[in-house]
Amino acid sequence: MKKSELDRINKEYLINDYERRFKVPHEVIISALIGEDNTSNEYARQKREQKKYFQEIENIRTYNLLESTTKKLNKSLVYDGICLNN
């Protein structure tokens, strides 16, 4: 099975929260797809990908929060070209 296909299945599994909904552990899905011998290596790789994926989401949330806060702050501090924070 190709790495790209495993990545797609991994994201699908995480986004749809299959572990909670169907009570199927991630290790079982991986071992069923690629075999018991390669499960530990693939599981470790997918955990790294999962961590990276969630970090990217957190960075996007943080960026959006900072951007909206800055816009609100700028609107409240400047009125008709007069800076109100001085």
Q: What is the pLDDT of residues 11-41, one digit of tens each?
A: 888 888 888 999 988 888 888 888 888 888 8
- Say whether 51 sits in a helix, a strand or coil: helix
CB 19 within 8 Å of CB 25: yes
d(CA 39, CA 52): 20
30-34, 57-61, 73-77: range with highest mean pLDDT: 30-34
Provide the domain limits for residue 52: 3-83
CB 31 within 8 Å of CB 39: yes
Domain count, the chain: 1
pLDDT-derived band at 53 (thresholds 50, 70, 90) equals: confident
What mean pLDDT do residues 3-17 have? 86
Q: What DSSP state is assigned to residue 82?
A: E
Helix (H) or strand (E) holding 56: helix 39-77
pLDDT of residue 68: 65
